[in-house]
């Protein structure tokens, strides 16, 4: 009996040790998100896109600033408005079934009918013809030079046709989507998402959802890769290497033009002219620099000599902003870390004695959510997945993300038409005309630019290729332990 107990104890200890070992063989990554949706029909922030990158595949996607075929074996124009897509035979869904042309067509049809944002590509596609299991023909409404570039952005995942049909009846299935990426979701809870790799050599990943968009320095040892704000904005972290990834984003303050007194152009312009961007800039420290244009440097359409901010200050510096005892500012929680929010409040208190704070966690419809909130101001950020002004100006062409409450159908059509221009320089000219129209409405003020995304990587890891493109384009199957 004693011998049996000893054997049982040894086995128990062995299992316990194995459990610890398995737990350690996990990439722990914090995400700046209170909640995270894997349903592709709404706005997916960079956290959702990074998880999606692991569990889903696309026909083509960006890698290191260039497009790379993924589920497609080849994509070629057979005329100015027809594109032939041949699928490879290597892409499979999590149940082992191959990705077929029917699945691709069903995925695009689903997004066309259900998506609330990023709809431009569907206005370009006239028809998708399934030729056979591995071949499709995309027919465009007209020659569209930006089609393949937009197709490679991280917004057009492929799902199994039968899964889509079931998910249309039961949206809860999106917690565990049937994708064709290298990982699959095994746990999806309010606090974390756990994904396992198809390749046994790859490392499982546990994504932690951090509601306030920042972590304390005392907590950093719990994580493997950190791409979110760390309290105090440290230059370095013990046990981590730092890389700065060129991925420019811009912080803005916007105005709810449906609310008095902001229905007045003069009131909006005078407020923006007196808003102290330096207070906010100082709180961000050396990761940020002053914004001089509606879009940040590095984005197609950027003008280093843009003068809107200075012009509005010169014109309205002597115009007294509306005298209000109390105003409200709303933050998009995934965009503005908690440690920086007080700087916006301080800047507002130079004009208004009392400032109420609201938060918006529904980033899938953040614009319309704010416009209906009866709040005055909105702090948020924007970035482009393919470094193009279009992804900034579509803020005013798509209703669900338009925070201002002002929607002009003709202006929206002008924004969409910019993608029909084949000559890049002519398209830049059109972008500048659109940006000038936006500026003249005094609905939004660029506060600061963050040129690089700061990422801390555990010294225990090798991360080949990280830094060659946006972090949400990085495939975690490349990561290895130093001793692996």
Token output for 164 = 């889509």
Report residue 235's pLDDT band, with 50, 70 and 90 as the boundaries: confident
- Asked if residue 414 and residue 444 are part of one domain, the reply reads yes
Write down the pTM of the prediction. Answer: 0.84
- Asked if residue 319 and residue 297 are part of one domain, the reply reads yes
Instruction: Tell me how many domains the chain contains.
Output: 3
Q: Are 88 and 59 in contact (CB under 8 A)?
A: no
- d(CA 358, CA 403) in angstroms, rounded, equals 14
Is residue 19 in some structural domain?
no
- Asked if residue 375 and residue 340 are part of one domain, the reply reads yes
Is residue 318 in some structural domain?
yes
- Asked if residue 208 and residue 193 are part of one domain, the reply reads yes
- d(CA 52, CA 48) in angstroms, rounded, equals 6
**Across the strands, what pairs with 206?**
28, 194
Report residue 37's pLDDT band, with 50, 70 and 90 as the boundaries: confident
- Asked if residue 332 and residue 285 are part of one domain, the reply reads yes
pLDDT at 179 over 90: yes
Q: Are 255 and 404 in contact (CB under 8 A)?
A: yes
> What is residue 43's predicted lDDT score, i.e. its pLDDT?
65
pLDDT 10s digits, 423-433: 999 999 999 99
Closest C-alpha among 220, 218, 207, 215 to residue 231 = 215
> What is residue 10's predicted lDDT score, i.e. its pLDDT?
36
Q: Are 142 and 379 in contact (CB under 8 A)?
A: no
Report residue 458's pLDDT band, with 50, 70 and 90 as the boundaries: very high
- Asked if residue 146 and residue 273 are part of one domain, the reply reads no
pLDDT 10s digits, 347-362: 999 999 999 998 876 6
Judged by average pLDDT, the poorest of 47-61, 86-100, 183-197, 355-369 is 355-369
Judged by average pLDDT, the poorest of 3-17, 339-353, 364-378, 397-411 is 3-17
Token output for 200 = 């046994």
Is residue 12 in some structural domain?
no
Is residue 8 in some structural domain?
no
Mean pLDDT, the chain, rounded, equals: 89
pLDDT at 257 over 80: yes
- Give the strand pairing for 135-140 and 125-132: antiparallel
- Asked if residue 257 and residue 384 are part of one domain, the reply reads yes
- Give the strand pairing for 214-215 and 289-290: unpaired
| % of the chain with per-residue pLDDT over 90 | 69
> What is residue 202's predicted lDDT score, i.e. its pLDDT?
97
Average pLDDT estimate for 360-369: 70
> What is residue 343's predicted lDDT score, i.e. its pLDDT?
94
- Asked if residue 381 and residue 264 are part of one domain, the reply reads yes
Nearby residues of 339 by Cβ (< 8 Å), 6 or more positions away: 214, 229, 231, 232, 233, 283
| Residue 356, domain CATH | 3.10.105.10
Domain that holds residue 178: 27-33+169-244+455-481
pLDDT at 415 over 70: yes
Report residue 223's pLDDT band, with 50, 70 and 90 as the boundaries: very high
């Amino acid at each position: 009996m004693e011998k049996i107990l000893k054997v049982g104890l040894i086995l128990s200890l062995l299992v316990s040790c194995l459990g610890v070992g398995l737990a350690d063989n996990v990439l722990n990554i914090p995400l700046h998100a209170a909640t995270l949706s894997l349903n592709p029909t709404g706005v997916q922030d960079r956290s959702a896109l990074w998880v999606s990158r692991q569990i889903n595949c696309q026909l083509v996607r960006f890698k290191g600033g260039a497009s790379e075929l993924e589920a497609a074996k080849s994509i070629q124009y057979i005329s100015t408005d027809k594109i032939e897509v041949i699928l490879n035979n290597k892409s499979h869904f999590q149940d082992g079934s191959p990705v077929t042309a029917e699945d691709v067509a069903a995925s695009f049809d689903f997004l066309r009918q259900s998506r609330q944002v990023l709809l431009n590509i569907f206005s370009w596609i006239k028809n998708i013809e399934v030729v056979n299991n591995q071949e499709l023909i995309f027919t465009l409404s007209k020659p569209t030079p930006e089609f393949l570039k937009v197709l490679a952005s991280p917004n057009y995942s492929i799902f199994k046709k039968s899964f889509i049909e079931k998910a249309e009846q039961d949206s809860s299935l999106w917690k565990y989507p049937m994708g064709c990426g290298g990982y699959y979701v095994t746990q999806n809870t309010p606090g974390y998402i756990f994904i396992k790799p198809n390749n046994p050599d790859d490392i499982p990943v546990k994504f932690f959802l951090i509601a306030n968009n920042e972590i304390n320095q005392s907590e950093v040892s719990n994580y493997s890769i950190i791409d979110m704000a760390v309290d105090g904005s440290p230059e370095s972290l013990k046990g981590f290497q730092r890389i700065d990834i060129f991925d420019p984003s811009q912080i803005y303050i916007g105005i709810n033009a449906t609310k008095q007194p902001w229905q007045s152009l003069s009131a909006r312009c005078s407020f923006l002219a007196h808003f102290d961007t330096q207070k906010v800039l100082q709180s961000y420290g050396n990761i940020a620099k002053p914004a001089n244009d509606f879009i940040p440097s590095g984005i197609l359409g950027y003008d280093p000599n843009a003068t809107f901010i200075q012009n509005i200050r010169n014109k309205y510096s002597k115009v007294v902003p509306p005298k209000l005892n109390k105003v409200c500012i709303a933050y998009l929680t995934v965009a503005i870390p908690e440690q920086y929010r007080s700087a916006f409040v301080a800047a507002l208190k130079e004009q208004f004695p009392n400032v109420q704070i609201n938060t918006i966690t529904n980033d899938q419809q953040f614009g319309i959510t704010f416009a209906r909130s009866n709040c005055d101001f909105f702090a948020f950020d924007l970035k482009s997945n393919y470094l193009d002004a279009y992804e900034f100006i579509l803020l005013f062409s798509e209703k669900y993300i338009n925070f201002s409450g002002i929607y002009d159908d003709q202006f929206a059509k002008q924004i969409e038409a910019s993608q029909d221009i084949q000559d890049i320089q002519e398209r830049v000219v059109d972008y500048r005309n659109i940006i000038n129209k936006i500026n003249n409405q005094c609905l939004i003020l660029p506060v600061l630019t963050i040129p690089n995304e700061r990422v801390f990587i555990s010294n225990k890891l090798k991360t080949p290729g990280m830094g060659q493109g946006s972090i949400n384009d990085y495939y975690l199957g490349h990561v290895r332990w130093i001793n692996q």
